[in-house]
């Protein structure tokens, strides 16, 4: 009976709230795909699977206890120390030294400066017992550590400061267990810088450099104000994004003889105006916002260089490409009309990621079991476990989110909570739950197969959805003028 109720609940959740499709056009295009996704989830019997996977297990309890012990004895304190010494993205030198020193002392081989990023690193657990490098599942754990850029300096208002210590507690506990149990498998931590910054999109750059190759599952934690998990499917928190820089080049001249020059700042101003003039021809969910980080040096010299930096957003990547073309053309037209030249750099892309019920439901069960607070029973919308979508659309994974603050993300109050009981408690819950889930993944081949089956299924449906979207955004026919 209980299982039936759970299943009915899950199906209700799948068919209504929580989907990533935000516009009527997208929902229409996704109709068939969502029906098939509902069938896929039903066939996996998620409530039954969750009950089986999370059944009591004394060995799992020991792994969880070890992660908690590391948190309580050393790692909460380490998180506090990093909170008190915030470093913004790509400058986290001190933070990664603390993390890497600890990993080196706990049987990991570490390497910094990977994928061309100074503060990116990997840590590989040195397996005892002569297991071949690629035998058994490879368990990945993402650590983050960048602080936010604030008007009063860097601050840890998103609590990335303790993500490193949490992930290390999990990695050490599960690595030691694999050795103790003489089980095949590998444990790798990924230190990923600058979550709050683009360019570059660090995880995409690391992914393209092959850093995540052969990883079977990835876990990560992130600060939140309520304990949640995503519904299965594909999506992202904050629309698909293209980050694009438009650099205009002109020629300098004296203000009094400006005809001898070409004004790059005017190029940028025209770009903004050109975009505003077509906003009504763009779908209303479009979000285009830019800033002018460089606009000249002095009013008596015609600016020969000016830069505009834009985040261009739309709920799906297919229509986003049309919006991008509008904005790129606006820049080209601006350059043409001002006699300047423009360089267009698409420095970052954030896309939909994939979330899985086979990982999210056991994770949610564990977070509740280990005492997570302010629990939201209704699943959130589908969303990958990391912000770029580049990793979470090709490798199964889950971001753990037990409540760690009563204040909103990116606030000074959330930073304070990282040092308080509510933060410390949530961090330990995340560590315990992540350790429990990795234990299940490492020890049960049939569970790994179910995760893979759901992932492959949703991945294929995501492709189908992209194809369906291509048909719902036809371009109008614009004839040649007669
Ligand atoms: Zn964050």
pLDDT digits (tens, 9 = 90+) for 86-127: 999 999 999 999 999 999 999 999 999 999 999 999 999 999
26 pLDDT band (50/70/90 cuts)?
confident
**pLDDT, tens only, 344-365:** 999 999 999 999 999 999 999 9
pLDDT band at 443 (very low <50, low <70, confident <90, very high): very high
Going from the Cα of 158 to the center of ligand 1, the distance in angstroms, rounded, reads: 5
Tens-digit pLDDT profile for residues 291-341: 999 999 999 999 999 999 999 999 999 999 999 999 999 999 999 999 999
Query: Would strands 108-112 and 186-191 be described as parallel, antiparallel, or unpaired?
Result: unpaired
Higher pLDDT pick, 156 / 19: 156
Q: Which tokens belong to 277?
A: 């003039």
Continuous segment of H or E residues that includes residue 50:
helix 46-53
Distance (Å) from CA 231 to ligand 1 centroid: 20
Q: What is the distance in A from the centroid of ligand 1 to the CA of 180?
A: 34
Question: Distance, CA 154 to ligand 1 centroid (Å)?
Answer: 14
Report CA(148)–ligand 1 centroid distance (Å).
9
User: What pLDDT does residue 11 have?
Assistant: 41
Instruction: Please tell me the predicted confidence (pLDDT) of residue 199.
Output: 83
Distances (CA, A) of 358 to 62, 278, 381, 440: 23, 44, 15, 11
Please determine, for residue 130, whether its predicted confidence score (pLDDT) is greater than 70.
Answer: no
| Cα–ligand 1 centroid distance for 221 (angstroms) | 10
- 10 alpha carbon – ligand 1 mean position (Å): 28
**The predicted structure's pLDDT at residue 30:** 87
User: Using CA of residue 232, residue 233, residue 234, residue 236, what is the dihedral sign?
Assistant: negative
Q: Ligand 1 centroid vs 421 CA: distance in angstroms? A: 20
457, HSE (Cβ side, Cα atoms, 13 Å): 24
Residue 176's pLDDT band (cuts 50, 70, 90): very high
> Residue 196 C-alpha to ligand 1 middle, in angstroms?
6
* CA–centroid distance, residue 195 to ligand 1 (Å): 6
Mean pLDDT lowest among 164-178, 196-210, 274-288, 398-412: 196-210
- Is the backbone of residue 282 left (phi > 0), alpha (psi -120 to 50) or beta? beta
Gap from CA of 160 to ligand 1 centroid (Å): 6
The more confident residue out of 17 and 373 is: 373
Q: How far is the CA of 358 from the centre of ligand 1 (A)?
A: 24
pLDDT in tens, 360-404: 999 999 999 999 999 999 999 999 999 999 999 999 999 999 999
Architecture of domain 240-350: 2-Layer Sandwich (3.30)
Q: Tell me the C-alpha distance between 285 and 27, whole Å.
A: 14
Distance 17 CA to ligand 1 centre (A): 24
User: Structure tokens of 337?
Assistant: 């009309």
More confident residue, 23 or 461: 461
**Which pLDDT value is given to residue 76?**
98
* Separation of CA 230 and ligand 1 centre (Å): 16
> What pLDDT score was predicted for residue 441?
98
Render 263-329 in DSSP notation, one character per residue. -HHHHHHHHHHHHHHHGGGS-TT-EEEEEEEE--S-TTB--SEEEEEEEEEESSHHHHHHHHHHHHH
118 vs 31, higher pLDDT: 118
Comparing C-alpha atoms, which of 244, 202, 221 is closest to residue 89? 202
Query: For position 131, what pLDDT does the model report?
Result: 67
Question: Taking 80 as the threshold, does the pLDDT of residue 13 lie above it?
Answer: no
Q: Computed over its alpha carbons, how large is the radius of gyration of the chain?
A: 24
CATH classification for the domain delimited by 39-236+357-464, as one of 3.40.630.10, 2.40.110.10, 1.20.58.340, 3.50.50.60: 3.40.630.10
Distance from the CA of 200 to the center of ligand 1, in angstroms? Answer: 16
Tell me how far apart the alpha carbons of residues 437 and 398 are, in angstroms, rounded to a whole number. 10
Q: What is the pLDDT of residue 19?
A: 60
Residue 114 DSSP symbol? G
What are the residue boundaries of the structural domains of the chain, listed by start?
39-236+357-464, 240-350
pLDDT in tens, 418-442: 999 999 999 999 999 999 999 999 9
pLDDT tens across 228-287, in order?
999 999 999 889 999 999 999 999 999 999 999 999 999 999 999 999 999 999 999 999
Distance from residue 166's CA to the centre of ligand 1 (Å): 15
Work out whether the CA dihedral 111, 121, 437, 170 comes out positive or negative. Answer: positive
Residue-level pLDDT at 132: 62
Break the chain down into helix, strand, coil percent, rounded to 5: 50, 20, 35
As given in the structure block, the two tokens for residue 103 are 């990993």
Taking the centre of ligand 1 as the mean of its atom positions, its distance from the CA of residue 222, in whole angstroms, is 7
CA of 420 to the centre of ligand 1 (A): 19
């Amino acid at each position: 009976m209980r299982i039936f109720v759970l299943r009915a609940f899950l199906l209700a959740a799948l068919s209504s709230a929580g989907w990533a499709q935000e516009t009527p056009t997208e929902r229409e295009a996704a109709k068939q795909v969502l029906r098939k996704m509902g069938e896929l989830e039903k066939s996996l019997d998620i409530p039954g699977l969750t009950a089986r996977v999370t059944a009591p297990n004394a060995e799992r309890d020991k792994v969880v206890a070890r992660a908690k012990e590391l948190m309580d004895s050393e790692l909460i304190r380490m998180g506090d120390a990093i909170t008190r010494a915030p470093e913004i993205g790509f400058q986290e030198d001190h933070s990664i030294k603390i993390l890497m020193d600890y990993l080196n002392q706990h049987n990991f081989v570490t390497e910094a400066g990977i994928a061309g990023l100074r503060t990116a690193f990997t840590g590989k657990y040195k397996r005892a017992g002569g297991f071949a490098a690629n035998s058994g599942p490879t368990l990945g754990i993402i650590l983050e550590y960048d602080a936010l850029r604030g008007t009063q300096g860097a601050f840890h208002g998103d609590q990335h400061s303790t993500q490193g210590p949490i992930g290390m507690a999990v990695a050490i506990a599960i690595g030691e267990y694999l050795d103790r149990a003489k089980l095949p498998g590998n444990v790798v931590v990924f230190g990923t810088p600058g979550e709050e910054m683009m360019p570059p999109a660090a995880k995409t750059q690391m992914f393209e450099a092959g850093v995540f190759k052969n990883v079977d599952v990835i876990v990560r934690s992130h600060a939140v104000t309520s304990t949640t998990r995503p519904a299965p499917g594909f999506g992202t928190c904050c629309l698909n994004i293209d980050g694009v820089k438009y650099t205009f080049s002109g020629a300098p001249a004296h203000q009094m003889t400006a005809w001898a020059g070409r004004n790059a700042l005017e190029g940028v101003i025209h770009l903004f105006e050109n975009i505003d003039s077509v906003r009504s021809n763009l779908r209303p969910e479009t979000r285009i916002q830019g800033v002018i980080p460089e606009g000249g040096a002095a009013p008596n010299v015609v600016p020969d260089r000016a830069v505009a930096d834009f985040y261009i957003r739309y709920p799906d990547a297919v229509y986003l490409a049309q919006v991008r073309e509008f904005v790129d053309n606006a820049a080209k037209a601006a350059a043409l009309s001002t006699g300047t030249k423009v360089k267009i750099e698409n420095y970052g892309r954030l896309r939909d990621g994939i979330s899985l019920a086979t990982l999210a439901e056991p994770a949610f069960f564990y977070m509740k079991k280990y005492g997570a607070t302010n629990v939201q029973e209704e699943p959130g919308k589908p969303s990958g476990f990391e912000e770029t979508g580049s990793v979470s659309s090709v490798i199964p994974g889950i971001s753990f989110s037990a409540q760690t603050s009563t204040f909103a993300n990116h606030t000074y109050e959330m930073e304070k909570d990282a040092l308080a009981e509510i933060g410390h408690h949530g961090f330990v819950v995340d560590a315990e739950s992540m350790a429990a889930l990795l234990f299940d993944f490492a020890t049960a081949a049939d569970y790994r197969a179910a995760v893979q089956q759901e992932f492959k299924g949703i991945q294929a449906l995501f492709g189908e959805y992209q194809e369906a979207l291509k048909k719902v955004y036809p371009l109008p026919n614009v004839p040649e003028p007669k």
